[in-house]
């Protein structure tokens, strides 16, 4: 009896956690009047793929470009962080040099500064370096990742010293030892870092918001945010922006291993009396 | 010789990270302070001179001079205060509850439940904000659900009324007339607006999964013999949870609440996407106000001053929290 109660509570929780995704996915296949009249219904009537068609064809929504930009930034940031963090992590964990502990302490200290204070000066730095409105300017600031350095340092600390010593005896230099001997041994940490970096940079919003103002460089998050916050008053491309959101989400979550297929799908379309009235 | 080579290698390995940290973390921190002392409109180079240096004027307008700016700032602090007070305990309690539930070894489908509860945490804040915008719209799913129970839901994101206001009804005259830091006493106590409540629900929903994972990790590291000892002593499940598990998890609770406090004070994405501070500025937050003043109105000095003040506020609160809950008790 008690068990049934426990499962019921958990199941109810699971429904609450999944419902927003499921409802929005279903809604993306509804027509506008249907969505307004039956927000909770799980069966679109009639079934409509209009929003998806418009997402692919409407010139007002440069979806392919947003997607491409998101992918480019995400891949560059992920690869860049892996390299930078693995280098620094090794330097901080294993190489002996003067000032090492001070540097590590310093990194931990600056990491604790709230991100909100960095928005304006990041914009300023990027402009001073002539990197504002450029891919480089979008990627480089995102490579700053104290958490990742910390993660890699801890991983390198666990590698037995003997492994490096035998490599040195065999005549390998520091770089060679790092690349072909030690790095393969911290693969799990690298994998974790890759997943975290990919997810983090795919979802990145504020960092990119102050790095570009040019539609050519818009990523999915930037494009969607502009569409929603800017167009909400006008309401013109409402169904479109909702379908687009579906894609932001799907790509972001889909990269993570082990997610149920159904969860990768997600929403599109509708709601808001005032808004709907204005679309017509 | 070998030592020197190793020392050189150490610096070389760390240099890329240090250059990036210096350019995009350390320099910006210093620049934030510098810009907050300027009257900078975002166009000219603020480092070369020629931009008016105004000293502490931006802070004076923000903190001591009664005006629109201070009213906006006070409003944003008030909004966020309610936000933090509701969201942090809610997400901590929820995360703890979920972790205890899915940590039960007898539970079938544990992996499934963990995935489900963690799922909102990996989604894009922008995407999920849009989802909620439409769930909470006048004709959205939330109101549809409420209608099933015979409740006429509000138009969430158009409703600036405070929750306490809804409970207490009309404000007494003296509360409207007493002004504290640019806002009437009534403004301070009327609670988060209906619109802000929707944002709070969203944030609790998206963060509880991450914090659940932290509790799970801690739960799995707990020594089993303590729980067994309590079991032998005849403690009920509830007693073991309250008297044994919870105290042992105190460091995790402290971590979760600190992280929660730091992030909730900086709420930005959700406000940017869902409400832009509306209705009637009841979802305005200091982070959004800072962005809006700087990038919207071109008052970068003011924006920087808001950000610095917010940072100071966060540091003080984190420190206070550590003094209250942290040391000597964890």
Task: Give the least confident one: A190-194, A269-273, B309-313.
Answer: A269-273
Interface residue B22 vs chain A (CB under 8 A): no
> Does residue B280 contact residue B160 with C-beta atoms inside 8 Å?
yes
- Tens digit of each residue's pLDDT (9 = 90 or more) over B277-302: 888 899 999 999 999 999 888 899 99
pLDDT for the residue numbered A259: 28
Gap between the Cα atoms of A244 and A254, Å rounded? 15
pLDDT for the residue numbered B235: 79
Gap between the Cα atoms of B106 and B102, Å rounded? 9
Find how far residue A79's CA is from the centre of its chain: 14
CATH number of the domain encompassing residue B98: 1.10.3720.10
Start-to-end Cα distance in chain B: 47
Q: Which residues of A touch B12 (CB under 8 A)?
A: 91
- Which residue out of B46, B122, B278 would a mutagenesis test of the A interface target, given it has the greatest number of A Cβ atoms within 10 Å? B122
Interface residue B43 vs chain A (CB under 8 A): no
Interface residue B273 vs chain A (CB under 8 A): yes
Task: List the structure tokens of A117.
Answer: 């204070």
Number of domains into which chain B is organized: 1
Q: Is the pLDDT of residue A274 over 80?
A: no
Q: Is the pLDDT of residue A39 over 90?
A: no
Give A274: exposed, middle or buried? Use CB within 10 Å, 0-12, 13-18, 19+: middle
- Which residue out of A21, A77, A114, A218 would a mutagenesis test of the B interface target, given it has the greatest number of B Cβ atoms within 10 Å? A114
| For A111, nearest residue in chain B (alpha carbons) | B25
Q: Is the pLDDT of residue B224 over 80?
A: no
Task: List the structure tokens of B287.
Answer: 């982070």
Gap between the Cα atoms of B52 and B35, Å rounded? 10
Residue B49 lies in a domain: no
Residue B89 lies in a domain: yes
Interface residue B230 vs chain A (CB under 8 A): no
Q: Is the pLDDT of residue B111 over 50?
A: yes
Q: Is the pLDDT of residue A251 over 80?
A: no
> Does residue A17 contact residue B205 with C-beta atoms inside 8 Å?
yes
Instruction: Return the residue matching tokens 């003043």.
Output: B293
Interface residue B124 vs chain A (CB under 8 A): yes
| Contact (CB<8Å) A245/B107 | no
Task: Give the least confident one: A165-169, A228-232, B168-172.
Answer: A228-232
What pLDDT band is residue A280 in, cutting at 50, 70 and 90?
Answer: very low
Interface residue B134 vs chain A (CB under 8 A): yes
What pLDDT band is residue A240 in, cutting at 50, 70 and 90?
Answer: very low
The dihedral built from the CA positions of residue A39, A44, A46 and A50, taken in this order, carries a sign that is positive
When CB atoms are compared, the residue of B20, B101, B135 closest to A140 is B20
When CB atoms are compared, the residue of B28, B145, B273 closest to A228 is B273
| For B287, nearest residue in chain A (alpha carbons) | A116
- Structural domain boundaries of chain A? 22-62+218-279, 67-209
- What region, left, alpha or beta, does residue B55 occupy, with left being phi > 0 and alpha being psi -120 to 50 degrees? left
Gap between the Cα atoms of A84 and A189, Å rounded? 14
Residue B45 lies in a domain: no
Q: Mean pLDDT score of chain B, rounded to an integer?
A: 88
Q: Mean pLDDT score of chain A, rounded to an integer?
A: 79
pLDDT for the residue numbered A262: 26
- Tens digit of each residue's pLDDT (9 = 90 or more) over B235-263: 788 888 888 888 889 889 998 998 999 99
- Residue A27 phi/psi, 5-degree rounding, is -60, -30
Q: Which residues of B touch A37 (CB under 8 A)?
A: 139
pLDDT for the residue numbered B327: 56
Q: Which residues of A touch B38 (CB under 8 A)?
A: none
Residue B33 lies in a domain: no
Q: Which residues of B touch A270 (CB under 8 A)?
A: 134
pLDDT for the residue numbered A187: 93
Instruction: Return the residue matching tokens 């629109």.
Output: B68
pLDDT for the residue numbered A163: 87
Closest Cα of chain A to B240: distance in Å? 17
Element (H, E) at B183: strand B183-184
What pLDDT band is residue A247 in, cutting at 50, 70 and 90?
Answer: very low
| Contact (CB<8Å) B124/A275 | no
| Contact (CB<8Å) B7/A253 | no
* DSSP character string of B48-100: SS-SPB-TTHHHHHHHTS-SHHHHHHHHHHHHHHHHHHHHHHHHHHHHHHHHH
Gap between the Cα atoms of B227 and B113, Å rounded? 24
Q: Which of A249-258, A267-276, B5-14, B229-238 shows the highest mean pLDDT?
A: B5-14
**Per-residue burial over A164-188, b = 16 or more CB atoms within 10 Å of its CB, e = otherwise:** beebeeeebebeebbeebbbeebee
**Is A67-209 CATH 1.10.3720.10?**
yes
Q: Is the pLDDT of residue B330 over 70?
A: no
Interface residue B119 vs chain A (CB under 8 A): yes
* DSSP character string of A119-157: HHHHHHHHHHTT-TTSHHHHHGGGG--HHHHHHHHHHHH
| Contact (CB<8Å) A124/B276 | no
- Which residue out of A120, A140, A210 would a mutagenesis test of the B interface target, given it has the greatest number of B Cβ atoms within 10 Å? A120
ipTM: 0.86
Q: Is the pLDDT of residue A113 over 60?
A: yes
Q: Is the pLDDT of residue B113 over 50?
A: yes
Residue B78 lies in a domain: yes
Q: Is the pLDDT of residue A279 over 60?
A: no
| For B274, nearest residue in chain A (alpha carbons) | A229
Q: In 3-state terms, what secondary structure has residue A94?
A: coil
Q: Is the pLDDT of residue A277 over 90?
A: no
Q: Is the pLDDT of residue A242 over 80?
A: no
Gap between the Cα atoms of B294 and A81, Å rounded? 30
Gap between the Cα atoms of A34 and A39, Å rounded? 8
What pLDDT band is residue B225 in, cutting at 50, 70 and 90?
Answer: confident
Closest Cα of chain B to A215: distance in Å? 16
Element (H, E) at B252: helix B250-264
pLDDT for the residue numbered B87: 96
| Contact (CB<8Å) B6/A40 | no
Residue B8 lies in a domain: no
| Contact (CB<8Å) B23/A83 | no
- Tens digit of each residue's pLDDT (9 = 90 or more) over B121-138: 988 999 899 888 888 888
Instruction: Show the domain range for B108.
Output: 57-326
Residue B227 lies in a domain: yes
Residue B32 lies in a domain: no
What is the arithmetic mean of pLDDT over B144-163?
Answer: 85
Gap between the Cα atoms of B99 and B219, Å rounded? 8
Q: Is the pLDDT of residue A271 over 70?
A: no
- Which residue out of B31, B106, B125, B127 would a mutagenesis test of the A interface target, given it has the greatest number of A Cβ atoms within 10 Å? B127
- Tens digit of each residue's pLDDT (9 = 90 or more) over B58-87: 898 888 888 889 999 999 999 999 999 999
What pLDDT band is residue A230 in, cutting at 50, 70 and 90?
Answer: low
Q: Which residues of B touch A146 (CB under 8 A)?
A: 21
> Does residue B178 contact residue B59 with C-beta atoms inside 8 Å?
no
Q: How far is CA B306 from CA A100, A116, B124, in A?
A: 35, 10, 26
| For A212, nearest residue in chain B (alpha carbons) | B295
């Amino acid at each position: 009896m008690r068990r049934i109660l426990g499962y019921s509570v958990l199941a109810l929780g699971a429904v609450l956690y999944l419902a927003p995704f499921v409802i929005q996915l279903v809604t993306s296949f509804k027509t506008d009047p249907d969505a307004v009249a039956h927000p909770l219904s799980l069966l679109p009537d009639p079934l409509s793929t209009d929003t998806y068609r418009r997402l692919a064809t409407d010139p007002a929504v440069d979806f392919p470009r947003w997607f491409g930009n998101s992918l480019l930034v995400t891949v560059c940031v992920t690869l860049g962080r892996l390299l930078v963090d693995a280098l620094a992590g090794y330097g901080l964990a294993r190489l002996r040099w003067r000032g090492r502990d001070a540097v590590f302490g310093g990194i931990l200290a600056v990491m604790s500064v709230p991100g909100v204070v960095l928005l304006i000066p990041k914009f300023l730095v990027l402009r001073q370096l002539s990197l504002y409105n450029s891919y480089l300017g979008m990627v480089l600031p995102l490579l700053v990742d104290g958490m990742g350095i910390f993660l890699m340092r801890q991983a390198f600390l666990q590698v037995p010293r003997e492994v490096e010593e035998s490599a040195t005896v065999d005549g390998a230099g520091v770089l060679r030892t790092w690349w072909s001997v030690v790095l393969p041994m911290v693969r799990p940490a690298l994998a974790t870092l890759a997943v975290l970096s990919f997810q983090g940079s795919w979802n990145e919003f504020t960092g990119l918001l102050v790095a570009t103002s040019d539609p050519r460089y818009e990523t999915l998050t930037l494009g969607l945010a502009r569409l929603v916050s800017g167009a909400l008053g006008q309401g013109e491309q409402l169904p479109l922006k909702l379908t687009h959101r579906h894609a932001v989400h799907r790509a972001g979550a889909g990269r993570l291993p082990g997610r149920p297929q159904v969860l990768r799908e997600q929403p599109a379309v509708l709601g808001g009396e005032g808004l709907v009235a204005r679309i017509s | 010789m070998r030592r020197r080579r190793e020392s050189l290698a150490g610096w070389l390995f760390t240099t890329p990270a240090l250059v990036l940290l210096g350019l995009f973390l350390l320099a910006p921190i210093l620049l934030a302070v510098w810009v907050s002392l300027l009257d900078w409109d975002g166009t000219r180079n603020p480092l070369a001179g020629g931009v008016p240096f105004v000293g502490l004027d931006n802070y004076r307008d923000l903190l001591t001079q009664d005006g629109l700016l201070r009213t906006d700032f006070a409003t944003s602090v008030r909004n966020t205060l309610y936000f933090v007070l509701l969201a942090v305990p809610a997400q901590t309690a929820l995360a703890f509850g979920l972790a205890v539930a899915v940590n039960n070894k007898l539970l079938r489908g544990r992996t499934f439940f963990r995935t489900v509860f963690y799922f909102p945490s990996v989604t894009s804040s922008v995407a999920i904000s849009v989802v909620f915008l439409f769930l909470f719209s006048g004709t959205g799913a939330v109101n549809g659900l409420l209608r099933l129970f015979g409740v006429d839901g509000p138009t969430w994101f158009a409703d600036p009324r405070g929750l306490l206001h809804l409970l207490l009804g009309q404000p007494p005259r003296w509360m409207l007339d007493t002004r504290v830091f640019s806002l009437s006493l009534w403004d301070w106590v009327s609670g988060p607006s209906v619109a802000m409540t929707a944002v709070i629900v969203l944030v609790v929903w998206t963060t509880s999964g991450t914090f659940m994972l932290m509790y799970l990790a801690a739960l799995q590291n707990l020594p089993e013999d303590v729980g067994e000892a309590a079991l032998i002593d005849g403690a009920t499940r509830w007693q073991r949870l309250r008297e044994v598990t919870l105290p042992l998890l105190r460091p995790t609770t402290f971590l979760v609440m600190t992280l929660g406090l730091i992030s909730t004070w900086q709420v930005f994405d959700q406000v940017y996407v869902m409400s832009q501070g509306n209705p009637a500025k009841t979802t305005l937050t200091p982070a959004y106000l800072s962005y809006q003043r700087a990038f919207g109105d071109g008052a970068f000095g003011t924006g920087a001053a808001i950000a610095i003040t917010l940072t100071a506020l966060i540091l003080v609160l984190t420190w206070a929290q550590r003094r209250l809950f942290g040391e000597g008790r964890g």
